[in-house]
Chain A
Amino acid sequence: MARMKFLCDADRCIECNACVTACKNEHEVPWGINRRRVVTIADGKPGERSVSMACMHCTDAPCAAVCPVNCFYTTADGVVLHSKDLCIGCGYCFYACPFGAPQYPKVGNFGSRGKMDKCTYCAGGPEADGSKEEYEKYGANRLAEGKLPLCAEMCSTKSLLAGDGEIIAQIYKERVLKRGYGSGAWGWKTAYRETIES
């Protein structure tokens, strides 16, 4: 079974934010919620890099570990998903997440933040694949259709890679070898406890 991962090649990201827009459109993500965002580090200075970041679908996911109601589960593909029916909106997953992935539709209304929302790796939720309920709660289930996450599939510079971890790591390694440089797979050490030697 494949172990699905994201990899953002920061040396290719041009901060076009198309991944952010595609994600919002594909899943009809509510107003105010961004499952993916592009962060520009050292903006306007030499050495500036942009990284597209969403839920990294961590190995031994911290969100799943701290959830008081155990609403998270990891699919056979290594995708970390959650049940909005079980979520109580306590906000603990956000405190534990290293990537700021969990989002809440409401903020600060006496602690009722609503059900947590995050990147699903375009893999929906616990409902039947492709069902109306699944789409309304979690958005499209592209994985069930044999497609990869839209953000990575439509990335114009192929900076954002999604797919089996070993394959995308191999693609990245070949790139680094060919062009002679690479600033590393951002977040991999934190999420998967491994780095890609470059």
Chain B
Amino acid sequence: MSSFARFIRPAIGAWALLLLVMAAPMPSPAQQINPTASSVNEQKLLQEMDRIQGRVSIPDQRSGVLMQPAGREWREFRNVALRWIGGVAVLGMLVVLVIFYLTRGMVRLESGRSGRTIVRFNTFERFVHWMTATCFIILAVSGLNITFGRPLLLPLIGFDAFSEWSQWAKFAHNYLSFPFTIGVVLIFLMWVGGNIPSKVDLEWIKRGGGLFGHDHPPARRFNAGQKGIYWIVVIGGGLVAATGYVLMFPFYLTGIEGMQMAQIVHSIVAVLFIAAMLAHIYIGTIGMEGAFEAMGSGEVDVNWAREHHSLWLDQEMARSGPNDSRPQPRHAASAAE
């Protein structure tokens, strides 16, 4: 009996050991510890807040954002939507202007030139206008280059030349924003008096501004169309300047969503602004006889003033009368009523 027990005890021990050894590396799946069961999950985090953020031990705390696929929507806007909006706005306006020019032609001075002139914009006003206008054109071209340069200009001039030009265009865009912004502020202050909407504007709009046919609805110093351009410049200019400075000083005021939003607002307002300015340039040059002189020499023909700004002319005549021979300097304040 004892010899049998002596024999069986190690056998049982060996069996038990074998069972233990086999059980240890292969626990049943139910008992297995899964360290990822409670761990952070990429898809869940992205669904929750559209970005994954954490702690970093390097000084740049912004790099704590691990992932933010939101840039995809911005990419779609920049590469597809903006090109459509900009293309339709700018080319559409050009097409409209060409059609208008071909059908209506130049708005002529119907009563001919009187030979007598009246001061419309003084030297300071014209300086501010042309400073803003010059900056605007350079800003517009360099801005359009960022959106349309790659598909349109790059294939024509090649990588190196296009990069060089774009670098200079970017510098010009950044630095000329300052005189442009000053110009917009001065335009706002200088002409705000004459650009408050009034009853006269309703009549002017009702008669289509005399754009069609040979109508000449009465207007003060600025008609409803000019007031529209004025407020487009003030509000549009204010918006592009504000969003532009947000883009120029990246991440000072806002995070990545704010930067993307600033670019979206900046670019949409800018292309609409460009379209509006094309119409402004058209009517101020080849669109209307005698209009360019207002910003050129600063003096317009009295007959031009009578046809397009009858109420303003009456007021000015009552005050001093036209310049028969030499232009008389006049202050901006008095000219703007």
Q: Which residues of A are in contact with B by a Cβ distance under 8 Å? A: 10-11, 15, 17, 20, 32, 34, 37-43, 46-51, 53, 62, 65-71, 83, 85-92, 94-100, 107-108, 110-113, 180-184, 186-187, 189-190
Contact = CB atoms under 8 A, between A and B. Distances in A.
B139 to A, nearest CB: 13
20 contacts: A20-B58, A34-B60, A38-B56, A38-B57, A39-B52, A47-B40, A66-B75, A68-B166, A70-B150, A70-B154, A90-B170, A98-B67, A100-B65, A183-B40, A184-B41, A186-B67, A187-B67, A189-B42, A189-B43, A190-B67
B55 interface: yes
Contacts of B247: 91, 111
Residue of B35, B53, B160, B260 most packed against chain A (CB within 10 A): B35
B114 interface: no
Contact of A108 (B43, B55, B67, B250): B250
A68 B146 contact: yes
Given A17-B58, A41-B54, 12 more contacts: A37-B56, A39-B63, A39-B66, A43-B54, A47-B38, A62-B71, A71-B159, A94-B256, A99-B67, A180-B32, A183-B36, A187-B67
Which 6 A-B pairs rank lowest in CB-CB distance, beginning with the nearest?
A41-B54, A39-B54, A86-B163, A47-B39, A96-B71, A39-B66
A143 B171 CA distance: 36
A6 to B, nearest CB: 13
B40 A34 contact: no
Contacts of B145: 68
B167 interface: yes
Contacts of A97: 71
Interface string B145-177: 111011000100001101100110011001100
Contact of A11 (B35, B64, B74, B259): B35
A25 to B, nearest CB: 14
B163 A71 contact: yes
A50 B56 CA distance: 9
B271 to A, nearest CB: 15
A100 B36 CA distance: 26
Contacts of A183: 36, 39-42
Given A98-B72, A100-B62, A190-B69, A39 B41 contact: no
Interface of B: 29, 32, 34-43, 45, 52-60, 62-72, 74-75, 78-79, 145-147, 149-150, 154, 159-160, 162-163, 166-167, 170-171, 174-175, 247-252, 256, 259-260, 263
A65 B53 CA distance: 25
Contact of B55 (A34, A39, A190): A39
A39 B154 CA distance: 38
Given A69-B163, A88-B167, A62 B150 contact: no
Contacts of B72: 62, 96, 98
Contact of A88 (B37, B66, B71, B170): B170
A49 B40 contact: yes
Contacts of A17: 57-58
Residue of B41, B63, B70 most packed against chain A (CB within 10 A): B63
Contacts of B35: 11, 181
Nearest to B155: A70
A94 B255 CA distance: 12
A51 B249 CA distance: 30
Nearest to B78: A66
Contact of A110 (B45, B167, B175): B175
Nearest to A185: B42
A95 B42 contact: no
A100 B34 contact: no
A98 B54 contact: no
Contact of A40 (B56, B60, B69): B56
Nearest to B175: A110
Contacts of B65: 39, 100
A43 B69 contact: no
B56 A182 contact: no
